[in-house]
Structure 1
Amino acid sequence: MLLLNAKEVHALARPEELVPVMEEAARLYEAGDFIMPDRMGVPQGENTYLYMPCFTPSVHGTKFLALFPQNPGRGLARIQGMMLLGDPETGQTVGLLDGGALTACRTGAVGAVGILHTTPPQASTLALIGAGVQGFHQCLFAARVRPIRTVFVYDPRPGAAAALCRRLEEELGLEAVACAGAAQAVERAEIVVTATASREPVLPDDRELVRGRHFIGIGSYKPFMREFPRAVFQEVREVLVDVEFAKEETGDLAVPLEEGWITPGQVRTLGKALSAPLDCSGTTLYKSVGMALFDVLAADHLLRKAQALGAGVSVEW
């Protein structure tokens, strides 16, 4: 069995390689050639444990995550966990990867796929709402699929936006500007990425502000979580999602559908958009809640790459 820790996962996860893998996952989702039981979530107070199995003809795996919202205050990542890969022929465990690092990288790649298919090729400015681990990875992967020059960052936590701006400038060479509010960030950008666990919209309910911008929603993954106000849904012609069950799983779709701000016919999966492109001339919205199919294909790619390069630690099991 091959072990890949967080540092090794990050070193192996090249955006130019992972983005096509996530596109392939979107196509496989449309083809239906996989088994993916419903994601099981076990709440423990404000914390959540998630169990996500998925099986394709060539890859078997399960991701186990622990989501602890208070971890950043402890100097730890909010997401902890591991990804297990098994041999489809024998059931033997062949790989164990750091689950937090895998999630960060594959979600960055999923966001980048959304950007590829919902934004104009020349888009060069990005607003980021939420300066956590995922915020960094959204910028990292976005900068590989669009000529991003400037990132405007807002986070209500004192010092969080400024700290991320320094990291973006030092590690990615991007111009990064900490903003005093979400509106200030959004009004200066073409692409707007939300990466929070908010229960209320993190953007102003202002149609003039959101009109003509391109929104990528990464954070909300439960029915009581929302990042987008009504104004966004009043402006979009259709909404792209990664999976059909996003319509029930996230408040960013469940609430607009229940309130009639959009109709079910306006919601389309990303996999369908790969063969029938979206019109990016107006306001666009891509909402991701994630799925285990992304995880197993990303993990399989990283494991194979590690084997070819002699990376990781091999142990007898």
Structure 2
Amino acid sequence: MTAVDAATDVDAPQVRLLSGADVDALATVEVGLAAAEDAARLVTGGRITTGRVQVNGPVAWMRILAGTISDLDLLGYKEFHRVGQRVKYHVHLFQESTGNALGIVDGRRITSLRTSATAAAAVRHWAGSEPVRVGLIGSGEEAREGLRAIAGAVPVHEAAVFSPTPANRASFARQMSAELGVTVQDVPAQADAIAGCDVLYVATSSHHNAFLHAADVADVGLVAAIGSTQPVHRELFGDVFSAADRVVVDTPDATHESGDCIEAVEGGWDAGSVTLLGDYLGSPAGDRSDRTVFKSIGSVEQDLVLAHHLLRAAEEQERGAVVDPVGSLRIMR
């Protein structure tokens, strides 16, 4: 190997590593909202390229979601792999213009953090500064992150949660009431969570069977549905989209990758009528007269932008481990 083949990259910066504990400490609502709004606006700019790959082996599987975000001079990927019940997540970031590694971020909470922050950005724009009552269907991690983010984005004066397992929703209500200082009611029926709410956050693991019709949410100002992210998933029946005054999506892929939207299209709903979140955030805020559906499936640029914001916060707060770069420089002919 000659000097032309390989060289010491003396200008490469050190790399910052963020553990799960670092992410927990850095992941404030403010950081999440700033990242979500940045990602939403970048999506409308068109300077993003993404791709994905999944490999399934006899023992383990791995999925990699990669992207370049030229406006941030960023390139990277989120990977997660599973062996039995063990799942690990990481986000790797690089500078697009040089290829230099910037950091590795523990990705365990990245998905739920970016999902909740993206929804909270839509809620804040719809609600303005007025207090809201939040209904939640689902009591898992996604619902917890969702209520945290919404309560950090707008004043929440009350919340109600329903899920099919009484113990889970009771635990949710106790924990979130104590954490947020907001009365969170544990209710025994889906209709009780919906009744009187301004914002309905739907975050379930429902796969094949939708459970919310337009008539069920006719009096809800904003329905944020984040649990149906694949063609086989269902939460909302198609008529919810047709009956809405406005449908906002976090990514154009939502209209053909979410089972909810696929069913709506099959029923005659025009997927071309959607508003991208970035465009919605650029419209006048605080218009509660529109019955709005926010549909999120997530996207890799949201993951990368959030990891980028976390790395910036870590640098400001001197958190994480800083190490010398790994990866020799090779000069290609």
Bin of the TM-score, shorter chain as denominator length: 0.7 to 0.9
Give the match for residue 237 of structure 2.
229
Aligned CA distance change for structure 1 residues 265 and 64 (closer, same or farther; 3 Å):
same
- Of the structure 1 ranges 3-12 and 209-218, higher mean CA displacement relative to structure 2 is found in 209-218
**Does structure 1 retain, via aligned residues, the 8 Å contact 2:111–2:303?**
yes
Question: What does 1:229-308 align with in structure 2 at a 5 Å threshold?
Answer: 229-260=237-268, 262-277=269-284, 279-308=287-316
Q: Which has the higher contact order (CA 8 A, sep 6+)?
A: 2
Question: What does 1:107-186 align with in structure 2 at a 5 Å threshold?
Answer: 107-119=115-127, 121-186=129-194
CA distance in 1, matches of 2:227, 2:57: 20
**Does structure 1 retain, via aligned residues, the 8 Å contact 2:95–2:101?**
yes
Aligned CA distance change for structure 1 residues 40 and 268 (closer, same or farther; 3 Å):
farther
What is the letter of the counterpart of residue 283 of structure 2? A
Superimposed CA distance per residue, residues 41-60 of structure 1 (whole angstroms, 9 cap, x where no aligned partner) = 55789x97432111123111
CA distance in 2, matches of 1:179, 1:155: 8
**Does structure 2 retain, via aligned residues, the 8 Å contact 1:207–1:235?**
no
CA distance in 2, matches of 1:274, 1:17: 17
The alpha-carbon deviation at position 308 of structure 1 amounts to: 2.0
Aligned CA distance change for structure 1 residues 43 and 181 (closer, same or farther; 3 Å):
farther
Question: What does 1:37-116 align with in structure 2 at a 5 Å threshold?
Answer: 37=51, 39-41=52-54, 49-57=62-70, 58-66=73-81, 80-116=88-124
Superimposed CA distance per residue, residues 18-71 of structure 1 (whole angstroms, 9 cap, x where no aligned partner) = 31221121111111122222x4455789x9743211112311110013489x96
**Does structure 1 retain, via aligned residues, the 8 Å contact 2:200–2:220?**
no
Superimposed CA distance per residue, residues 140-159 of structure 1 (whole angstroms, 9 cap, x where no aligned partner) = 11011211121211111341
The alpha-carbon deviation at position 122 of structure 1 amounts to: 1.8
CA distance in 2, matches of 1:67, 1:250: 23
The alpha-carbon deviation at position 17 of structure 1 amounts to: 3.0
CA distance in 2, matches of 1:221, 1:42: 20
With normalisation by structure 1, the TM-score equals: 0.88
CA distance in 2, matches of 1:14, 1:200: 34
The alpha-carbon deviation at position 89 of structure 1 amounts to: 4.0
Give the match for residue 7 of structure 2.
none
Structure 1 residue ranges without an equivalent (≥5)? none
**Does structure 2 retain, via aligned residues, the 8 Å contact 1:123–1:191?**
no
Aligned length in residues: 307
1:191 paired residue among 189, 195, 199: 199
With normalisation by structure 2, the TM-score equals: 0.84
What is the letter of the counterpart of residue 266 of structure 2? E
Superimposed CA distance per residue, residues 277-309 of structure 1 (whole angstroms, 9 cap, x where no aligned partner) = 485314210001111111111111111211221
User: Could you say what secondary structure the match of 2:108 adopts?
Assistant: helix
Match status 1:13 vs 2:20: no
User: Could you say what secondary structure the match of 2:177 adopts?
Assistant: helix
CA distance in 1, matches of 2:149, 2:157: 13
Percent identity for Structure 1 against Structure 2 = 28
User: Could you say what secondary structure the match of 2:184 adopts?
Assistant: strand
CA distance in 2, matches of 1:141, 1:223: 27
1:214 paired residue among 201, 215, 222: 222
Aligned CA distance change for structure 1 residues 48 and 211 (closer, same or farther; 3 Å):
farther
The alpha-carbon deviation at position 90 of structure 1 amounts to: 3.8
Structure 2 residue ranges without an equivalent (≥5)? 1-14, 327-333
The alpha-carbon deviation at position 174 of structure 1 amounts to: 1.6
**Does structure 2 retain, via aligned residues, the 8 Å contact 1:203–1:229?**
yes
User: Could you say what secondary structure the match of 1:239 adopts?
Assistant: strand
**Does structure 2 retain, via aligned residues, the 8 Å contact 1:123–1:190?**
no
The alpha-carbon deviation at position 162 of structure 1 amounts to: 1.0
